[in-house]
Amino acid sequence: MIELIEETAEATSIVLDLPDRQRHRAGQHVDVRLTAEDGYEAQRSYSIASAPEDAYLVLTVERLDDGEVSPYLVDTLRPGDELELRGPIGGYFVWEEVLGGPLLLVAGGSGVVPLRAMLRHHQAVGSTIPVRLLYSVKSLDDVIYRDELMGMAADDEIDVRLTLTREQPEGWRGYARRIDQELLADVAWPPSEGPLTYVCGPTSFVEVAANALVGLGHDPGRIRTERFGPTGG
């Protein structure tokens, strides 16, 4: 591990130098295993935040106070420490240019992590497929990769939209509500355009978003989901 980047008060990116690493696909994850001195082991899965083309592998971890792994990764890990990884893992929740679009990415909280890998991959290969990110967080301070996402929004092919569900700064012109069918109707491409959609976030968030899209007439076979529970970490 070579660098730690504080993304928000609760989320940290871990930059890993793996010279012999297997090339991953945007959207995949790895398993991280920690072993205590007494032999006790704890393992958790974390999405890869970096694009396949990036020089380093990046994991972004959100601290869960009752977690076994995330508090160590966020609070204790230091540059030079080593981690035991397994992966990359997963072949369903991945995006490559050959899969086409238009591409709709819907994220709740740290669910933006694998979607960021897709956005970086999209830029790295010079894709002209239109992509739209709808990202739901409590406040502007909770936006992971805030500066990078705002920079990506300057790309002609990338549309970034935020919805702040609890606290909005003065003069805020973006959305200020939880994601529901009405909001998705405003953001998503029409079903007739056959968008390929990726939804990632807490279980309840993913279920609401996916069901809302189906209710709007989107093909369930074009909606890919990845969810995580409220505990673990």
**Integer distance in angstroms from the first to the last C-alpha of the chain?**
19
Residue-wise pLDDT tens digits, 95-153:
999 999 899 999 999 999 999 999 999 999 999 999 999 999 999 999 999 999 999 99
Q: How confident is the model at residue 168 (pLDDT cuts 50, 70, 90)?
A: very high
Helix (H) or strand (E) holding 216: none
Q: What is the mean pLDDT of residues 222-232?
A: 77
The predicted structure's pLDDT at residue 229? 61
Domain ranges of the chain: 3-89, 97-228
Correct CATH for 3-89 of 2.40.30.10, 2.60.40.10, 2.60.120.10, 1.25.40.20? 2.40.30.10
Domain 97-228 has CATH 2.40.30.260: no
Tell me the backbone φ, ψ of residue 10, rounded to 5 degrees.
-115, -10
Percent of the chain with pLDDT over 90: 80
Both tokens of residue 97? Answer: 């240019």
What is the DSSP secondary structure assignment for residue 55, as one 8-state letter? S
Residue-wise pLDDT tens digits, 39-97:
888 899 999 999 999 999 999 999 988 888 998 899 888 988 888 999 999 999 999 99
Q: How confident is the model at residue 190 (pLDDT cuts 50, 70, 90)?
A: very high
Q: What is the dihedral of CA 205, 97, 11, 169, to 10 degrees?
A: -70
Helix (H) or strand (E) holding 185: helix 181-187
Whether the per-residue pLDDT at 232 is higher than 60: the answer is no
62 touches 11 (CB < 8 A) = yes
Whether the per-residue pLDDT at 18 is higher than 90: the answer is no
